Structure 1
Amino acid sequence: MIDYAGIRMTEGQLIACERKEGMNDNMMKSHFHDFYEIYYLEEGGRNIIIEGSIYTIEPGMFAIKAPYIMHHSFGDKDVPFRRIVLYFRPNAILSATLQDAMKGITGTYRPAIDQKEQFQMLLDGINEEETGNSPFKQEAMQSLLNNLLVSILRQTANKEKNSNQHLVGDVMDYIHDNYFEDITLENLAKRFYVSHYYLCREFKRMTNRTIIQYISVTRISNAQRKIMETDLSITEISNLTGFSNLTNFNRVFKKYAGISPSQYRKEYREVAAQKIR
């Protein structure tokens, strides 16, 4: 399934929305992006892995993923589904109060019965603006988005706990908590009392990514946060995110981010400076 909304975000759009239907259309691997995502399920059933937690969502439920949070979704064989995905950049949130309240928002939610109709109406409105050609399209989407976020933040008590906790989820939890350490396959197998072969097979089956790849991506996503949020040197960030040397850090960073760490910092600071003006 081609993520056209995601493509529009990479082209610089502030908000993008898309409704899709599918079956046996599973993400090949976990990923992250630099904007928020709301995934609302209208029909069918989906499993969502968010960092180290595995959730099952039903129609009327939704998942929110903050920027730089590893995630992917998959469904059971031959089970059709329909969903709306809504992407938005942090600066699409108009209120500093709302921006602050969005911290810790990542997870899955089951809206209260009296909130479902309003939630669906706001999402439908955003999607209609996206597919139409009315003037001030992005402005209208931004207004509806902020109303939607207020609705969500008023019902954070409806946040779901992870269901289907599994060996793979436990391993992902461990990686996210200890990515800065020297993590080996042998040590993971011993820690979780399974064979090396079984662990690698189950992890690849659930995530479509090897454990080594998952460790690398987790380290790089944390490195990106440190590049943006701190003034630490690239060498210091390399050491703090589990890389044995700077050369390896630069190579792996460029593999997953597409550019070098220093170029990433330069581009981020240029964008941040433009926003201040």
Structure 2
Amino acid sequence: GFQRSAHYSRPEEMVRFGKAIAETLERGGAVLIPVFAIGKSQEMLFNIHRFKQMGVIPANTPVYFGGLSAKVSLLYDRFAGSTRRHDHEFKLKEEIQTVPLPRKGKAPLVCSPGNIYVVSSGMMTENTLSNVMAEQVLPQEKNAILFVGYADPDSPAGLLKATPEGELVKMRPKGQPVRRKCTVDCFDFSGHATRDALVNYAVKLNPRQVVLVHGDPDAVEWMRHTLSAKMPDSTIVVPEPGRRYTFEP
């Protein structure tokens, strides 16, 4: 799993993220931000937009956006009026200037200095834009790859995160190893609530039954123990795979 430091603050993490982008652009580098298509990519586009408005990064910095993320964003805008959003009027496509990447095979993918690339997949799975572009970004010191989400340790992103500067990394099993000379940094913009927030939420709802279905065994056991103590009148269920459960309404 993922451990968050006790001093974590999302606003401070956002400032650090803006600074990392600005420093890379100032030294003439390219910024590659691998993102998950749903949620994370839209959030990062919005953050970059805000950095431009605040003068953290130059307003004319091109933002290239592509992969599944771009397709999902069109759906986000289409349903903006019918879902709960902080800002109903805000349309990603209209308000945020992005440059589309060439379609597969139409033109070579070129990572150029001074640009930001917000592309899927977040874990840099083989054949995705972020994986293909990483091979261009990695060998140059002035570039940066900024991670904004979780990466499975066995995924290409996980392998890259574990590669020290100057060492070789293989982004594809059959590909050539590439020397990691660029900056690699990780930012915690997790979309998940903390365990304490989840407990508080459960206590507030005060349901008769709570079913714990997701998480490592230790985390599930912690949650079962904690909820049982705080909600003695509720039944806390940790279901066993393959067994059928019936719940009273």
Q: TM-score, normalised by structure 2?
A: 0.27
The structure that is helix-richer by fraction is 1
The alignment's TM-score, normalised by the length of structure 1, stands at 0.25
